[in-house]
Amino acid sequence: MGRVGQDSVEPGVLVWCADYHMCTVVVRNQGRVFMHTPSQRDVRSSIAQARTIVVKVGSSSLTTASGRLDAQRLHAVVCAIANTTVLGARLVLVSSGAIAAGFGQLGFDARPTDLPTQQATASVGQGLLMAHYESAFGRFGIRVGQILITAEDTVSASKYRNARRTLNRLLELGVVPIVNENDALASNEIRFGDNDHLSALIANVVRADALVLLTDVDGLYSAPPSQPDSHRIPYVPDALHILDDVRVSGSVSGVGTGGMVTKLEAARMAAVSGIPTVLTCASNAGPALMGDGVGTVFAPVRQRGSSRRLWIKFAANPRGSMTLDAGAVGAVRGARASLLAAGVVAVTGDFSAGDPVWLCDESGNHIAKGLSGFDAEEIPHMLGRNTAQLRRLLGEEYAHPLVHLDNLVLV
């Protein structure tokens, strides 16, 4: 995204208008720059022109009715999306299907439900899944690389940076990274639970220009498609409140772990990160990437933030909390200042300097996330003191914000 008035911004592309705090579209007429609210056509056009694209495909789009991996369906998905890479776009594929591929190979009649068997099944299935992807993309002369991620890899700042470096280098080398949650190692206590959330995080990691969610329905409906009053919603200009306007249900395929709610959450995460999203069925993947009127397209609703802020907002897992007084709450919500010790009345949790924490009001409501500037055990001695008092009583090293403005995001 660019800014209105920059000569480098091409007409017809989505930009961020700082004055109006909204996404707009550049229009030039006789040397003058105009703007208008993006239409469905504008957003679809931006997806068609995207340079870096994250595509997520679910298990139900890759398997038979019995839940076993269907090589023909997988190859059809690859054929639909590979042309995007051939035409010059950089593609990241977030693919489910390891457990679905593995349980058939191991002779199970259905997807296992206990964690150890799921982990073992994923270990067997992931290799089979990658073999099919290597074969399918190889037909187009495209190399692929495997990236297995756990939730801990995005919670840790250093692991998050490592993942970003690896993914970006693969894209620079012309390789299609194929990303999946590392189900063989992930536990129920800390996992994504579905690849919809993971795909939105990956879109942030690689600073994608578009996110494409492929599922077993052809778009978002006003109610479950089986209901007679249901109709497809082709365009969502405000993903922040879409869950207030539709009736959705969980996964019913018996193969995947997500549902429409998780896909809407992923679209919302992308929208507030400045990334347009299209949701449709796998058979519509090609037309969706070309900007055709299939599925449901979600407009971005925020300017793209820095990778650091996006990590804090969406991936960082708070290790504790700080409770703010009313004045500090107002300052944080106004995004005007760092969080000083003078505005904090309590601290909970066991965390170190640099760890993410919740910032809460005195009623316990979460208002922001931030990276703590101090260890949890140091903070009680600092509470309620201004900078001058901290410097005089504890020393210069304590005369700093508990959470600096650059490391703080509203939630």
What would the mean pLDDT of 89-98 be, rounded to a whole number?
Answer: 93
Edge to edge, the sheet with strand 22-29 lists 2-3, 14-17, 22-29, 32-36
Taken as a whole, the chain contains a residue count of: 411
The pLDDT of 135-140, averaged and rounded, is: 96
User: Under a CB-based contact definition with an 8 Å cutoff, are residues 372 and 403 in contact?
Assistant: yes
pLDDT bin (cut points 50, 70, 90) of residue 394 is very high
pLDDT of residue 227: 84
Residue 27 scores a pLDDT above 50: no
- Domains of the chain by range and CATH? 2-37 (no CATH), 44-310 (3.40.1160.10), 318-410 (2.30.130.10)
Q: What is the DSSP string of 213-246?
A: EEESSSS-BSS-TTSTT--B--EES-GGGGGGT-
**Residues above pLDDT 90, as percent of the chain:** 46
38-50: average pLDDT: 92
Distance CA 104, CA 113 (A): 14
Question: How would DSSP label each residue in 298-352?
Answer: E---S----HHHHIIIII----EEEEE-HHHHHHHHTT-SPBPGGGEEEEEE---
Antiparallel, parallel or unpaired: β 2-3 and 22-29: unpaired
Task: Say what the pLDDT of residue 63 is.
Answer: 84
What mean pLDDT comes out for the span 185-196? Answer: 59
Q: What is the pLDDT of residue 252?
A: 41
Query: pLDDT digits over 152-166, tens only?
Result: 677 677 788 888 999
The mean pLDDT of 74-78, rounded to a whole number, is 95
Q: At what angle do helices 98-105 and 115-138 cross, to 10 degrees?
A: 100
Q: Report how far residue 271's alpha carbon sits from residue 80's, in angstroms, rounded to the nearest whole number.
A: 24
The confidence band for 178, taking pLDDT boundaries of 50, 70 and 90, is very high
- H/E element holding 168? helix 157-172
The most confident of 16-30, 110-124, 326-340, 372-386, by mean pLDDT: 372-386
Distance CA 104, CA 62 (A): 13
Two tokens at 71? 């090589």
Asked whether the predicted pLDDT for residue 259 surpasses 60, the reply is yes
CA angle 163, 151, 363 (to 5 degrees): 120
In the predicted model, is pLDDT for residue 44 greater than 60?
A: yes
Residue where the block lists tokens 């789009």: 61
Identify the weakest region by mean pLDDT among 248-252, 254-258, 285-289: 254-258
